[in-house]
A and B are shown apart, each in its own frame.
Chain A
Amino acid sequence: MAFLALALLQSSNPIGDALNNTEWAFPLAECFHIVFFGIAIGTIMIVNLRLLGLAFPRRTPAQLAQDTWVWTLVGLVIAVLAGMALFISDPRMYSYNQGFRFKITVFVLAVIYHYTVHAKVVSSNSSRAISAVVGVISVALWVSVVAGGIFIAFV
């Protein structure tokens, strides 16, 4: 079933065709992907700086999350939409690429973690140790997502 869906998607889809048949569409989608994952991860990092005790000592992590979550969401949504457009240009290649599979697995984990564990610790008055551990795991997950993306071209 999944294989059939993949074969159909590969053979013809309007977005994939547009990306493959114009010279500028694929790099344009890549640029949107990069700028908006920058905004998504950059805003998550602002909260992580506080969790790690490295910046914003006069604010709580909850206050920083309250002030950045909209831009995190905007960044994630546009980065994902642009990413889906890139994927659909060559679904078969990406589906079998080990770098891509790693990236998507870690990305799903990172998003789940961000909206559950991370959000929970950010909104409660957790100890410094727990906050730091939760921040470090968040950094590690997002680093892995971006690094996985680069390795799509090298594996």
Chain B
Amino acid sequence: MSLYSVFESLQSIGPLADIRESALVYPVILATHLVCIGLFGGMILMTDLRLLGLGMGDLTISEVVNGLRWPKRIGLVVIVICGLLLFSSEALKYEPNPYFWTKMTLLVLATIHYFVFRNSVYNNTEELDKSPVIPTRVKTAAILSMVIWVSIPVCGRLIAYYEPDKQKAPQTATVR
């Protein structure tokens, strides 16, 4: 069974087809997706800026990481649920889209990033607060996090700009 046919079956599931065909539900889910990016996405970047020593310097690393942990988790859950609904209601539209697959790859990288740095950075903040300088591995974690988490909404936006016909046309027209 190809991915195409899996996506085809997915988007034909009753409630998902209803989302696609609704003039109101689809934009409401999209708005919720973006509203939560607005409310919670910046918290990821502020955590990174704190780890780099560039923002929220009056608070300890522990306060910033622990204070924003649950808001970020709740935000991520809502954003992912909305994203899954948006994708699965129009799965076939996303299947050929390279920006969609880049975004999915970046989400996998974000998950790997979390597990790689979890023990040494995010669950080790009390040690980091005692350290006179911010260790290189912490700054590395923060920079990688910023690059990944900025690229994810950027790819999300670019999904809308992919035109399969337009992209294929020059390949057949150009003689290499």
Residues of A within 8 A of B (CB): 27, 30-31, 34-35, 37-43, 45-46, 49, 54-56, 58-59, 63-64, 66-68, 70-71, 75, 139, 142-143, 146-147, 149-151, 153-154
Contacts and interface: CB of A to CB of B under 8 A. Distances in A.
Contacts of B42: 38-43, 45, 75
A45 B71 contact: yes
B66 to A, nearest CB: 9
Interface SS of chain B: helix, strand, loop or mixed? Answer: helix
Nearest to B71: A49
Contacts of B161: 27
Interface SS of chain A: helix, strand, loop or mixed? Answer: helix
A59 B59 contact: yes
B53 interface: no
Given A31-B153, A39-B46, A150-B31, A45 B56 contact: no
B57 interface: yes
A27 to B, nearest CB: 6
Interface in B17-32: 23, 27, 30-31
B109 interface: no
Interface string B38-79: 111111111001000001111100010001101100000000
A45 B43 contact: yes
B58 A63 contact: yes
B84 interface: no
B158 to A, nearest CB: 6
Given A27-B157, A27-B158, A31-B157, A38 B38 contact: yes
